[in-house]
Amino acid sequence: MRDFPTCFGENAVQIADSSSSSNKAAQNLVTCVYQTKLRGNSCLVNVTWNKSMMGQGLSVGIDNSANQCLCKVDIKPWLFSKRKGSKSLEVDASKVHIYWDLSSAKFGSGPEPLEGFYLAIVFDKEIGLLLGDLTKEAYKKSNVAPIPSDANYIAKREHIFGKRFYCTKAQFSENGKFHDIAIECDTGGLVDPCLMIRIDTKMMMQVKRLKWKFRGNQSIVIDGNSVEVFWDVHSWLFGTSLGNAVFMFHTCFTPEKLWSSNMSSDSAILSLSKSLTFRDSQLQGLGFSLILYAWKNE
């Protein structure tokens, strides 16, 4: 079993490093994972958006069905370079072309572009993954037939920071709305800390006696769909140095599916305390995962 995402450097994967430099780097790093097909075989495409003093940048990594890293392409921050371009390479006897245009992209507070861009990954003259709203431009640039990709968005990993409140936005279904997620936890000197999670300001869950329940899971309903929430706040409560809590929001993540994929809820939570791990077989039909690494600001 390999760490997710598998194709990136140690600073991107190992979340246990609590140095301030690692924290600052992680604060502007978001990784999205898509499941698609390469030569008829399932593969994972990891897209990492990053932001630094030098500007925006991104990385693309491709894993095969055996969770082996086939390739990784780094597109460096473009403050002093062009915001569009292409790269070609050969992966597993297939021609892979990556095209991007972010010259008109609009960004929010995070490193991901919101609109005015495209990122296209072409496998042997077929679209394997297409992101962004400039689809016509992407098909024209890549010179492929405008046939929609069958890629599935299966996971997102994000680092969030705060002292008591940790906030982000997420979309839990393909055509669903974006929701505001707020995690609240005050561990500063309290005898009995409490963990609270709100979705669009509505209280969805509250965990009392947190020192006894520092790991666990609970089901909530979002947009009419069941979402399983896992948490691991051990580092917040008992860590000897600055550490991060880990939260996972997973659609369709029922106990029956956990067992059928050879993952008990306990083992799933234990994996969260280090670095979330996936197997391709476990991702089939298990919905979408949002993984949040919550770091306390000094």
Per the model's pLDDT, the better-predicted residue between 273 and 211 turns out to be 211
106-107/113-115 β-pairing: antiparallel
Lowest mean pLDDT among 80-89, 173-182, 218-227, 274-283: 274-283
- Determine contact, residues 175/168, Cβ cutoff 8 Å: no
> What is residue 262's predicted lDDT score, i.e. its pLDDT?
39
C-alpha triplet 48, 181, 256: angle, nearest 5°: 80
Give, in order, the Cα–Cα distances in Å from 192 to each of 22, 77, 134, 211, 217: 30, 45, 51, 7, 19
Residue 212 has pLDDT above 80, yes or no: yes
What was the pLDDT predicted at 94? 80
Are 183 and 292 a contacting pair, CB within 8 Å?
yes
Q: What is the pLDDT of residue 80?
A: 64
Range from 102-106, 170-174, 279-283, 285-289 carrying the lowest mean pLDDT: 279-283
Please tell me the predicted confidence (pLDDT) of residue 280: 37
The span from the CA of 211 to the CA of 195, in Å, is 10
Arithmetic mean of pLDDT, 67-90: 82
Q: What is the mean pLDDT of the chain?
A: 78
pLDDT of residue 268 exceeding 50, the answer is: no
Tokens of 143: 């010179």
> Where is pLDDT greater, at 82 or 167?
167
CB 70 within 8 A of CB 93: no
Q: What is the band of 122 on the pLDDT scale with cuts at 50, 70, 90?
A: very high
**Averaging pLDDT over each range in 4-18, 22-36, 206-220, 256-270, which range is the top one?**
206-220
Contact 202, 223 (CB under 8 A): no
| Strongest mean pLDDT among 10-19, 22-31, 247-256, 284-293 | 284-293
Average pLDDT over residues 103-109: 88
Residue 261 has pLDDT above 90, yes or no: no
pLDDT at 72 over 70: yes
Of the pLDDT bands very low, low, confident and very high (cuts 50, 70, 90), residue 24 is low
Residue 184 has pLDDT above 90, yes or no: yes
Per-domain boundaries in the chain: 2-150, 161-296
Range of 68-82, 219-233, 265-279 with top mean pLDDT:
219-233
Mean pLDDT: which of 69-73, 137-141, 159-163 is highest? 137-141
In which residue are the tokens 């997973």 written?
Answer: 250
Largest CA distance in the chain: 63
